[in-house]
Structure 1
Amino acid sequence: MTRKDQIGQIFRFALVGGVNTATFFGLYLLLHPWMPYFAAYSLAFALAMVGSFFMNTYFTYRTRPTWKKFFLFPLTNVTNYVIQSAGLYALVAWAGMDTRIAPLVAAVMAIPFTFLLSRKILVPGSRSAAAETEQGQTRTSSTV
Structure 2
Amino acid sequence: MTVRVQMVRFAFVGVVNTGTYYACYLLLLNRLPYVVSHVVAFLLSMTGSFFLHSRFTYRTRPTWRKFLFFPLTNAANFVITTSGVYLLVDVLHFSSRYAPLFAAAAAVPITFVVSRTILLRPDNDRSRRDPEGAPAR
Q: Which has the higher helix share?
A: 1
Aligned to 1:70, the other structure's residue is in SS state: helix
The equivalent position to 1:99 in structure 2, one of 87, 96, 99, is 96
Aligned to 1:100, the other structure's residue is in SS state: coil
Q: State the match for 1:62 in structure 2.
A: 59
Question: Cα deviation per residue 1:76-101 (whole Å; 9 max; x = unaligned)?
Answer: 00110010000000000011111111
The equivalent position to 2:29 in structure 1, one of 6, 29, 32, is 32
**Equivalent position amino acid for 1:34 in 2:** R
CA RMSD, aligned part only? Answer: 0.9
Runs of 4+ in 1 over 4 A off after TM superposition: none
Q: State the match for 2:41 in structure 1.
A: 44
How high is the TM-score relative to the length of structure 1?
Answer: 0.83
Bigger relative contact order, structure 1 or 2 (CA pairs below 8 A, ≥6 apart): 1
Unaligned 5+ residue runs, structure 1? 126-144
How high is the TM-score relative to the length of structure 2?
Answer: 0.87
Aligned to 2:107, the other structure's residue is in SS state: helix
The equivalent position to 1:22 in structure 2, one of 19, 38, 41, is 19
Percent of aligned positions with the same letter in both sequences?
A: 51
Aligned to 1:34, the other structure's residue is in SS state: coil
Question: Cα deviation per residue 1:23-52 (whole Å; 9 max; x = unaligned)?
Answer: 000100000010000000000000000000
Tell me how far 1:56 sits from its aligned partner. Answer: 0.2
Q: State the match for 1:72 in structure 2.
A: 69
Matched, 1:88 2:88: no
Distance of 1:58 and 1:11 partners within structure 2: 14
The alignment covers a number of residue pairs equal to 122
